[in-house]
């Protein structure tokens, strides 16, 4: 081995301290957004069978849950509503006493510091499970926009700090921005699901939210996983329409897209670490096949390295606890 030339990268890896001094990416509690499923009814605290550790919660359990989150140092949640009644137009999504509106009022009155993000979509609220109005088996784009704007305004009225539209109709950011502004909510930001793929990784969520489409699929509005340029066009439209944050969803199989979005648009980027990504790790960990803590922290750190500023994740409670130790 005499006279060969090479670099000594291992010099910077010789101790824990040195490694932490040269670490480029850090996960912080402030990065974590915890998804919460709120359901109508009483005394409900029911584990979602395909998502161990994730629960359906009725309003009476919300204060206890929030106390736990605050104690863990989690500063933000995203609310998903599971209504009792569904109809073709998703009326409970924009009802002033809908489950998300009620939960938001309760949380903001008891925990004013908690940043409440309202997921704005119709699929949990429509009897057909699609994210928009249906006519002749088609999901109509433009008429759906009015319902989304109404939903966003009723969520903002209830006190939501951020509106997060996830339904992938064209023009939804423009429509919601106009609705919010006209109702006086000029300071309520929009966290847009700008880049949302039609993904099998949403399977467990649809169990949790009872939101599977009753016919067909979501491929006419959600994106083809094979496409990258299309993601940039989607993100660009949302930026032009007034989005304040850009979500890339799912996260793990789309880290390349996250990097592209981060490099091109000067907005905070949010990774949505979706249900299927969560459940796979849970299942493997329960079998003893992976080290849950290490694999979760590696995965969340990878999302930040790929450009995410914030991460919506069902692992948030665990990660916050691990970050404290």
Positions in the binding site for ligand PBG (CB under 6 A): 119, 121, 123, 131, 166-167, 202, 205-206, 211, 218, 274-275
To the query of whether residue 46 is one of the catalytic residues in this protein, the response is no
Q: Is 259 annotated as a binding residue?
A: no
Q: Which is nearer to ligand PBG, 117 or 131 (CB)?
A: 131
Which is it for the CA torsion 206, 212, 216, 220, positive or negative? negative
To the query of whether residue 219 is one of the catalytic residues in this protein, the response is no
Q: Which is nearer to ligand PBG, 178 or 206 (CB)?
A: 206
Q: Is 230 annotated as a binding residue?
A: no
- Measured from the CB of residue 206, what is the shortest distance to ligand PBG in angstroms? 5
Residue 6: what are its φ and ψ, rounded to 5°? -160, 170
Q: Is 65 annotated as a binding residue?
A: no
Q: Is 110 annotated as a binding residue?
A: no
Q: Which is nearer to ligand PBG, 9 or 133 (CB)?
A: 133
Q: In Å, how far from its chain's centre is CA 99?
A: 18
The set of long-range contacts for 285-294, using a CB threshold of 8 Å and a minimum separation of 24, is 286/52, 292/318, 293/318, 293/322
From 2, 29, 196, 219, the catalytic residue:
196
- Measured from the CB of residue 13, what is the shortest distance to ligand PBG in angstroms? 35
Among the listed residues 114, 20, 34, the one whose alpha carbon sits nearest the alpha carbon of residue 318: 34
- Measured from the CB of residue 266, what is the shortest distance to ligand PBG in angstroms? 26
Cα distance between residue 217 and residue 288, in whole Å: 35
> ω before 250 within 30° of 0 (cis)?
yes
Cα distance between residue 116 and residue 289, in whole Å: 35
**Cross-strand pairs, 129:** none
Q: Which is nearer to ligand PBG, 32 or 131 (CB)?
A: 131
Q: Is 34 annotated as a binding residue?
A: no
- Measured from the CB of residue 116, what is the shortest distance to ligand PBG in angstroms? 16
From 86, 249, 262, 282, the catalytic residue:
249
Which residues lie closer than 8 Å to 316 by C-beta, 6 or more apart? Answer: 32, 33, 34, 74
- Where in the sequence numbering do the catalytic residues fall? 196, 249
Annotated binding site for Zn(2+): 121, 123, 131
Annotated binding site for Mg(2+): 234
Annotated binding site for 5-aminolevulinate: 206, 218, 275, 314
């Amino acid at each position: 081995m005499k006279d060969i030339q090479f670099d000594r990268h291992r010099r910077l890896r010789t101790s824990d301290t040195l490694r932490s001094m040269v670490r480029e990416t850090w996960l912080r509690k402030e990065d974590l957004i915890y998804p919460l499923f709120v359901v109508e009814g009483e005394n409900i605290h029911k584990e979602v069978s395909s998502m161990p550790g994730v629960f359906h919660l009725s309003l009476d359990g919300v204060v206890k849950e929030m106390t736990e989150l605050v104690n863990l140092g989690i500063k933000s949640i995203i609310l998903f509503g599971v209504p009792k009644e569904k109809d073709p137009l998703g009326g409970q999504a924009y009802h002033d006493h809908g489950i998300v509106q009620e939960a938001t009022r309760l949380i903001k009155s008891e925990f004013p510091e908690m940043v409440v993000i309202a997921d704005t979509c119709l699929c949990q609220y429509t009897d057909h499970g699609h994210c928009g109005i249906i006519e002749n088996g088609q999901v109509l784009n433009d008429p759906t926009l009015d319902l989304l704007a109404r939903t966003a305004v009723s969520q903002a009225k209830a006190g939501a700090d951020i509106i997060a539209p996830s339904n992938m109709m064209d023009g939804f950011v423009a429509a919601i921005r106009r609705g919010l502004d006209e109702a006086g909510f000029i300071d309520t930001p929009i966290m847009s699901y700008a880049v949302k793929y039609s993904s099998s990784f949403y399977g467990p969520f649809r169990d949790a939210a009872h939101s599977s489409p009753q016919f067909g699929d979501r491929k006419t509005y959600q994106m083809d996983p094979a496409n990258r340029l299309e993601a940039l066009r989607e993100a660009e439209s949302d930026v032009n329409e007034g989005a304040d944050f850009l979500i890339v969803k799912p996260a793990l199989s789309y880290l390349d897209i996250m990097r592209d979005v981060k490099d091109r648009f000067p907005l905070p980027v949010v990774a949505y670490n979706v249900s299927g990504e969560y459940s796979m790790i849970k299942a493997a960990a329960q079998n003893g096949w992976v080290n849950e803590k290490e694999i979760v922290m590696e995965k969340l750190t990878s999302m930040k390295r790929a450009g995410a500023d914030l991460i919506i994740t069902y692992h948030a409670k665990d990660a916050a606890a691990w970050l404290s130790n």
